[in-house]
Amino acid sequence: RLRALNRLQVIFQHLKMSKQTDSAAEVLLEKKGGAGVITLNRPKALNALNLSMIQKIYPQIKTWEQDPETFLIIIKGTGGKAFCAGGDIRAITEAGKVGDKLIQDFFIGEYRLNNAIGTCKKPYVALIDGITMGGGVGVSVHGHFRVATEKTVFAMPETAIGLFPDVGGGYFLPRLSGKIGYYLALTGCRLKGRDVLKAGIATHFVESEKLPALEKDLIALKSPSKEKIADLLNSYHMKCTIDQEKEFALDEHMEKINSLFSANSMEEIVKKLKQDGSPFAMKQLETLNKMSPTSLKLTLRQLREGASMSLQEVLRMEYRLSQACMKGHDFYEGVRAVLIDKDQSPKWKPAALEEVSDEFVDNCFKPLGSDDLKL
């Protein structure tokens, strides 16, 4: 009897929660003035994207895109710590272990959303204040405008969990200047504040505390064109003096990054780093040695191929890779070591780059026939 009662209480609790005001919703979708505003609202989870959020945002963007009264779309996060720290990796891991179809649905939904942002006809402004990684990069970087602040921390850390920099990483990373994108993708290096702008990931840099005023001004614009929005962002950008004098953190290493990361294979990159022998090269070597060898090989090829593909072709390729990773060993092991047990010592299989065969890598890129991603 008691257990049945307890179960009822739990059910009531759930019902009560679902009826709560909008502030309890994981994503808020509001029309303010001429702007559609998307607010990622899972501050405790650093606004990580889950499937239900993706399934709410996608149709709303499509609706706003068709609406003559909506002139721009703004996306932001709550909580002051993160814009969006990534996708809901834990849920995907649990699903993958039991063969649940979330491992298809999540990536299909996420990549369709990335494509909707990349092809959006209305100006799309992402306020990337705080941690912006993985899935958070996917819902910002493909839009027209990305506003970074002194609190922005950008990274694509997927090779450390047996994955690859997806969400269209194969499209935007190889298009950054020199070999910065390859370096960021393989090492998971973090960029902070103004460096996110200097690397070409953000389009503008504004003080974090000025964002509410900026948002208000964006909303108040009368039937704004892309030019008007750009002018407004530029005026805020020009007034921001934080870290103005600071050199780009990677500046002193750019020459090395461009030569060391231009090799055609991971083995060659490693060889070049060893031959270089500088403290910078040794540090990169140490970092790469911690990453999944399979992920490193998939990532290098993903970027090399993605460099000449359209965003749609890249997302199709990445969907194939995502499904290959879901079938493999390293993703589950990486998530265990980094996010669950946090012992930071994953046992990769295969454990060395030389053991990841070209044939295996080729197979990961093979079309999935009727299961391929449809955009």
Q: Which domain holds residue 37?
A: 27-371
Nearest CA to 311 among 153, 173, 154? 173
**Active-site position among 87, 138, 143, 334:** 87
- Assigned domain for 8 exists: no
**Active-site position among 88, 158, 195, 330:** 158
Contact 139, 88 (CB under 8 A): no
The runs of H, that is alpha helices, within the chain are: 2-19, 51-66, 89-97, 102-118, 135-138, 169-172, 180-187, 194-198, 211-220, 226-239, 254-260, 266-276, 279-290, 293-306, 311-327, 330-335, 358-364
Per-residue pLDDT of the chain (375 residues; tens, 9 = 90+): 666 666 666 556 555 544 444 557 999 999 999 999 999 999 999 999 999 999 999 999 999 999 999 999 999 999 999 999 999 999 999 999 999 999 999 999 999 999 999 999 999 999 999 999 999 999 999 999 999 999 999 999 999 999 999 999 999 999 999 999 999 999 999 999 999 999 999 999 999 999 999 999 999 998 889 999 999 999 999 999 999 999 999 999 999 999 999 999 999 999 999 999 999 999 999 999 999 999 999 999 999 999 999 999 999 999 999 999 999 999 999 999 999 999 999 999 999 999 999 999 999 999 999 999 999
Residue 273, C-beta contacts closer than 8 angstroms, at least 6 positions apart? 260, 281, 282, 284, 285, 288
**Active-site position among 110, 129, 166, 215:** 166
Give CA–CA dist 367/349, Å, rounded. 24
- Assigned domain for 117 exists: yes
pTM of the model: 0.93
166 is catalytic: yes
87 is catalytic: yes
- Assigned domain for 249 exists: yes
Give CA–CA dist 319/307, Å, rounded. 17
- Assigned domain for 341 exists: yes
CATH number reported for the structural domain that contains residue 109 in this entry = 3.90.226.10
**Domains contained in the chain, number:** 1
- Assigned domain for 22 exists: no
**Active-site position among 36, 86, 109, 135:** 135
Nearest CA to 73 among 118, 133, 110, 111? 118
